[in-house]
Amino acid sequence: MLVDYGGSIFPIVAHSPWNGLHLADFVMPFFLFIVGVSLALVYKKVTNRVEATWKAVARVLKLFLLGVLLQGGYLHGISSLTYGVDIERIRWFGILQRIAIGYIVTALCEIWLSQRTSRQWHFVQSYYWHWSLAIFLSVIYVALSYGLYVPDWQFEVTSSSGSTFYSVKCSVRGDLGPACNAAGMIDRYVIGNNHLYAKPVYRNLKDCNMSTSGQVSDNSPSWCHASFDPEGILSSLTAAVTCIIGLQYGHVLANLQDSKRRLDNWFLFSASLSVPGIFLALVGVAVNKSLYTVSYMLITSSAAGVTFCALYLLVDVYGYRQLTSLLEWMGKHSLSSFILVTSNVAVIALQGFYWKVPENNIIHWIVTLVVRS
């Protein structure tokens, strides 16, 4: 909610156009992290692995399809009450779909790869297959990102005035820019250019000369007009690793009863994530949310761990529950809140209350007050 409606007013809140970190860039990894934490509690005791697997698959399919309905182009925004989408242009991947992928990878990891026979619990040794999978996914991500050859490519943009063809010159390996990265190439080949996000955040870069109305200038580089999905296939690998990292924090919560031991383990783990993440950023590995780079994954996972520690200390240890009652309510109703906002039902409902003329509505008042302040 804050990102979608506050980002246009406060740029630091909105997603970073490409490299770097803004407040909005912490939202997705924080959510993936807490999904991992919750799965450690959900699957603490699994009596029937096959049954648990089928339930996880069913839950993921529902979440994935709900994401397609909400962000696939079926709904047409707050300015139109029409609906419907051309199957040839539907967006298959999105926020809920990414969470669904992270969920199923982590759930299967917990159901099938946990060593439940050991009496003595250890943070690393008890779940070494989890760590092995996380490292494997990260290695695959790095190998594809830097090893795949990205050739020159072309695409077509269709508008009310007709079709325009663009060409992008690449012929490179290991490029992490918006035009020639391997993640975009994989999505174009596997998903199809027409099924990607049509308004990528990199259009806010100065190179694209985007107007206040959201139109890209004709003299901008050709890649500024292209579609790109920040929740694509390749970046889902490292996104799943964030979920697996959250799972390990959940193991501490589920297996240790002493608050001090919990916090010691969490802080140590957060520090062990931040050090390599910052090192990679310093040596030139871009911190990039759209590509979900390894440095971005490590730094945001560490930040999620520290935030989790702070909230645990505030609420569970010191008992300041009233201070976070609103956050608790939102956490319990997170999916419902997301549906109301993403479907624009909440915004449309608020716009229905106006003074004398429809344009003079509550949303307009809020935006005006914020701009003036």
Q: What is the pTM of this model?
A: 0.91
Compute the average pLDDT of residues 250-262: 94
Q: Say if residue 260 is exposed, middle or buried (CB neighbours under 10 Å; 0-12, 13-18, 19+).
A: exposed
87 pLDDT band (50/70/90 cuts)? confident
Give mean pLDDT, residues 106-133.
81
pLDDT digits (tens, 9 = 90+) for 307-319: 999 999 999 999 9
Which pLDDT does position 188 carry in this prediction?
Answer: 96
Task: Give 78's pLDDT tier (boundaries 50, 70, 90).
Answer: low
First to last CA, the chain: 20
**Tokens 């009863």 sit on residue:** 257
* Residue 321, phi then psi, degrees to nearest 5: -75, -35
Domain ranges of the chain: 31-319, 334-372
Write the pLDDT tens digit of every residue in 290-301: 999 999 999 999
Q: Residues 6 or more apart from 178 whose CB is under 8 A from it?
A: 18, 184, 200, 202, 205, 223, 228, 290
Q: How far apart are CA 252 and CA 204, in angstroms?
A: 41
